[in-house]
Structure 1
Amino acid sequence: MNSTKITTLFALAVLASTFVACKKDNVGLPDSAAEKTAVSIENVLNAKPLVESGVFQGPVTPLILPGQSTTIQFSAAKGEAISFATMYGASNDLFFAPENPGIQVYTGDGIPIEGDVSTQVKLWDNGTRINQKPGASVSHPGVAENKNVSEVIATDAQGNPYLSAAKLVKATLKYNGNSVFTLTLENTSGGTANETPLSPGVWSVSYIVGGNLLNAAPLFAKDKPTANGLTSIAEAGDNGALSTYLKSITGIFTPLSPILVVVYNGIDNPLYKVGENDRNQGLKDLAQKGDASILAAFLKGKSGIKSVYVLAASGTTVLLPKINGQAGSKVSQELSVTKGDRIAIATMYGFSNDWFFASGAEGIDPFKKGDASANMALYNNGTALDQFPGAGITQFNLAGTPLAESKLITAVPNPNPFTTLPDIQDFIKVSIQ
């Protein structure tokens, strides 16, 4: 097993402990006329390691000329970082980028960092072209070489001198609130011995899971060969190839909390109703923290409630998505049902403030065998201020404290103000056997 997989698996093990572990709890008496069936729930999300990625360029032309600046707006949770890469245009294959994993945007106490962070910008040699004296007379592409990516400190391998990157590129962070930042990159090389345009570039933010970034080096790795299209930026200022690669690993990552399964009869949906406030019966704890135990305990013995289960995944508690080709977590439960029974299901969208997947108002027919995923939808519980899923400083499962709000329960739109989500059936699969 390579080191990346080891780190990922360790991070996921830590993540599992942040959710409230809930034991299986069957409440209700067996019915003599009951039939046996079973329900299974699986996290089928094809997980991606990057929360966000994108491109940037100059304000007038694609180039960022001396005296010009460009901005990048992004969201981040505590421990997440912003990385970027842009060509030192007047060179053969040099580029500016922060050292991995990127520029940290919060202090260890979770306070947003603002102001000048230029000292974290470095100058790098892509290792694919022999360096000529930097300037307008550089011939492109130049003479090929085959070396690893290395930092340029004072001089390159050929002895050409350079000012520190912080004197050529000014990086400034501004906190916009609600986990949203703006990074401004200004070309300050004008009038120096290293005057240069900056090329269109790329940027990225990695998910953090259990205190570890899922991809701490998405753009390049120091002392390793260049890869994934970085050469096109470093040699020609073309961000297309690396942008395409980043898009392929950018998307959604979330575990699902232990699954609440309720068998009921003769009553409306016992968990929630769209257009009403949270009932203060425990759904808020499920939606914000992944803790189904409070709602399960409340429902025990209530009229119309036949049985209640909380299904935790073996070994991890939470249901993990598909990672590195491995199947996502799956839980199953045998049920005892009679005519007229319905099944209600709920589980937290783990990397959100208070979103939860749940069966609809009519529940699920336990006698209709097969894939029941079409009965599921994603809802906003309305009890915590929303932030970018997987990049919010107040998200409980990212070491945050939710900020209270009071709104009606609604379906989560897609696309929503933060991102575009996969179809529900690409998150969660529910089957009746």
Structure 2
Amino acid sequence: MKINHWSALAFLPLAFTACKKDNNNTGGNNSSGTTLTVENVLNSKPLVESGTYQGTASPLILPGQSVSIQFSAAKGEALTFASMYGWSNDLFFAPANPGILVYDATGNPIEGDVSAQIKLWDNGTRVNQAPGAAVNHPGTAESKSVTEVNGTDAQGNIYLAASKLVKASLKYNGNSLFTLTLQNISGGTINETPLSPGVWAVSYIVGGQLRNPAPLFTSGQPSANGLTNIAEAGDNSVLNTYLKSITGIFTPLSPILVVVYNGIENPIYKTGENDRGQGLKPLAQQGNADTLAAYLKGKPGIKAVYVLQAPGTKVLLPVIDGKAGGMVSQDLTVSSGDRLAIATMYGFSNDWFFASVDNGVDATQKGDISSSIKLFDNGTAIDQFPGAGITQFNLAGTPLVTSKPITAVPNPNPFTTLPDISNMIRVILK
């Protein structure tokens, strides 16, 4: 079944059909009712990555020196950064928002000289003196908005184009990983200057929209969040602290596969085995639980199968700007000896899925069973940085095929450090 990409902040509805198995467990006198509730409790962040950079011989990046930034990105995501024009009162180098796009319209990585995308900006907090080593810091205060410097500043001082002072080169390393190299080429020009240590950031893209298209500054608005510390003094610590606070994990959960069974092992998966070809792969790669649900219905030991979709969005969105995450519930009729297992895709991944560990849980118990859930790698697609992979299905990509056994996702993993499972998904029986 063909399904749509998650393509709006609330996401377009996926073509999932809620599969409900007719309960064939008469259960006898020991049958009882319980309600399963699954909730996405992830406190999502708008930035997928951020960090700092500085020179190698000293924190400053002097004329002739260079510095590199390594980052991951999906199609539509961009890299932004900021460094002080050191021999100025409050000027800084940065690309225009949302930053340097690293893929073309067809999804091919961009490589080579991208210096033309770098601009020179006036932070608007100090009156500009003639640029040079003799600038008196910090200078006279003023209160204006951030503006681009095009040839001359507000005081009439002359500047070459930023691309004549800072060279930016982009290299694609494969598997959605890029390196941006910034080289100070201002030596010998009328605008010779050191560059300060800086900050950089990459925003998540959700439904074709960047979660934070202007993490460092907004042209025409006052400087904020510590950018002034960079622009006036080359101090990147304050803005870095702010960026860290909005950098982290963002992922929806796909519609939830729920299976009630008795007398058999967990029918969804088994660690150490390769994907069985029964429908877990579409769930783990695309968030489509219907294939596996249809396969399991009617099999020996299977008592009931459900696919639970969040109202309106189908997927369970995370907590976004304080708004509660998606939640689904299902009434169940269970008997002594029944087991319960669930599975749902970590949406912004290549083939990671949350699932009940081992042989699931006693379906008659009550309470929070979130501790019975772990995150697994289905082993059917090559992994990339979660939320920043060009081949991730829900970021308009096509997963690259591999074949490995199902394993638990380590934490930290080669890409990032995830929150505790209980801070991403909550599962309750009551």
Q: So what's the TM-score if we normalise by structure 2?
A: 0.97
Counterpart check, 1:374 vs 2:371: yes
CA contact (8 A) 1:56 1:202 kept: yes
Residue of 389, 402, 406 corresponding to 1:405: 402
Between the aligned partners of 1:210 and 1:323, the Cα distance in structure 2 is 14
User: CA offsets per residue over residues 302-334 of structure 1, 9 Å max, x none?
Assistant: 000000000000010000000111110100000
Match of 2:301 among 301, 304, 311: 304
- 1:281-296 map, 5 Å: 281-296=278-293
Shift of 1:16: 3.8
In 2, Cα distance between the equivalents of 1:148 and 1:115?
33
SS at match of 2:80: strand
Tell me the distance in 2 between the aligned counterparts of 1:179 and 1:22: 33
Deviation at 1:26, TM superposition (A): 2.6
What's 1:31 paired with? 26
Task: State the match for 1:277 in structure 2.
Answer: 274
Q: Where does residue 44 of structure 2 map in the other structure?
A: 47
Q: Secondary structure at the match of 1:12?
A: coil
Partner of 2:109: 112
In 1, the alpha carbon distance for the partners of 2:77 and 2:173 equals 16
> Which of the numbers 59, 67, 70 marks the counterpart of 1:73?
70
* Structure 2 contact 7–206 (Cα < 8 Å) conserved: no
Equivalences for residues 29-178 of structure 1 within 5 A: 29-33=24-28, 34-178=31-175
Q: Which amino acid aligns with 1:273?
A: K
Mapped partners of 2:271, 2:87: distance in 1? 59
Tell me, in whole angstroms, the C-alpha distance in 1 between the residues paired with 2:70 and 2:17. 38
- Three-state SS of the structure 1 residue aligned to 2:141 is coil
Whether 1:361 aligns to 2:358 is: yes
> Partner letter of residue 28 of structure 1?
N
Contact 1:22 1:292 in 2 (8 A): no
Contact 2:72/2:388 (<8 A) preserved: yes
Distance in structure 2 (CA, Å) of the matches to 1:31 and 1:361: 26
Q: Which residue of 2 aligns with 1:429?
A: 426
Contact 1:27-1:300 at 8 Å conserved across structures: no
Q: Secondary structure at the match of 1:166?
A: helix
Match of 2:3 in 1: none
Deviation at 1:98, TM superposition (A): 0.1
Whether 1:317 aligns to 2:314 is: yes
What is the CA distance between 1:20 and its match in structure 2? Answer: 4.2
One-letter amino acid of the structure 2 residue matched with residue 306 of structure 1? K
Could you list the per-position Cα deviations for residues 111-144 of structure 1 after superposition, in whole angstroms to 9, with x for gaps in the alignment? 0000000000000000000000000000000000
Question: How far did 1:429 drift?
Answer: 0.2
Identity of aligned residues (%): 70
Give deviations 1:171-211, integer Å, cap 9, x for gaps.
00000000000000000000000000000000000000000
Contact 1:131 1:156 in 2 (8 A): yes
* Aligned-partner residue type, residue 214 of structure 1: R
**How many correspondences in the alignment?**
423
Q: What is the identity, as a one-letter code, of the residue corresponding to 1:31?
A: T
| Structure 2 letter corresponding to 1:371 | D
Deviations along 1:374-428, whole A, 9 cap, x unmatched?
0000000000000000000000000000000000000000000000000000000
Preserved CA contact (<8 Å) 1:22 1:291: no
Distance, in Å, in 2 between the alignment partners of 1:271 and 1:10 is 28
Inter-partner Cα distance in structure 1 for 2:327 and 2:427: 10
Which deviations, in whole Å up to 9, do the C-alpha atoms of 1:78-123 show, x marking residues without a partner?
A: 0000000000000000000000000000001000000000000000
Structure 1: which 4+ aligned runs deviate by more than 4 Å? none
Identify which of 199, 203, 207 aligns with 2:204: 207
Report what 1:257 is aligned to. 254
**Given residue 26 of structure 2, which amino acid in structure 1 is its aligned partner?**
D
> Would the aligned equivalents of 1:28 and 1:300 in 2 still touch at CA under 8 Å?
no
Q: Secondary structure at the match of 1:172?
A: strand
In 2, distance between residues paired with 1:69 and 1:416? 29
Match status 1:224 vs 2:221: yes
CA distance in 2, matches of 1:31, 1:332: 22
Q: Do structure 1's residue 184 and structure 2's residue 184 form an aligned pair?
A: no
> C-alpha separation between the residues in 2 aligned to 1:274 and 1:10?
32
Kept after mapping to 2: 8 A contact 1:396/1:402: yes
User: Deviations along 1:25-56, whole A, 9 cap, x unmatched?
Assistant: 23432425221111100000000000000000
Secondary structure (helix, strand or coil) at the match of 1:233 reads: helix
For structure 2, the residue ranges without an aligned partner over 5 or more in a row are 1-5
Determine which of 336, 340, 348 is the counterpart of 2:337. Answer: 340
Q: Once structures 1 and 2 are overlaid, which stretch shifts more, 19-28 or 48-57? A: 19-28
**3-state SS in 1 of match to 2:82:** strand
Alignment of structure 1 residues 242-253 onto 2, 5 Å? 242-253=239-250
Matches within 5 A, 1:6-21: 11-13=8-10, 15-17=11-13, 19-21=14-16
Q: What CA deviation, in whole Å up to 9, does each residue of 1:208-264 have, x standing for no partner? A: 000000000000000001000000000000000000000000000000000000000
**Partners in 2 of 1:28 and 1:295 — Cα distance?**
18
Whole-angstrom distance in 2 between the partners of 1:26 and 1:121: 58
Deviation per residue, 1:325-370 (Å, 9 max, x gap): 1110100000010110000100000000000000011202122211
Contact 1:16/1:318 (8 A) holds in 2: no
Partner of 2:383: 386
Contact 1:22 1:311 in 2 (8 A): no
Distance 1:265 1:87 in 2: 65
* CA distance in 1: counterparts of 2:24 and 2:417, whole angstroms: 43
What is the aligned partner in structure 2 of residue 5 from structure 1?
A: none
- 2:306 alignment partner, SS class: strand
Post-superposition offset of 1:10: 8.9
Name the CA distance, whole Å, in 2 between partners of 1:77 and 1:126.
Answer: 30
Give the distance between the partners of 2:23 and 2:293, measured in 1 at CA: 12
Provide the C-alpha distance between the structure 1 equivalents of 2:22 and 2:286, rounded to a whole number of angstroms: 23
* Contact 2:7–2:208 (Cα < 8 Å) also in 1: no
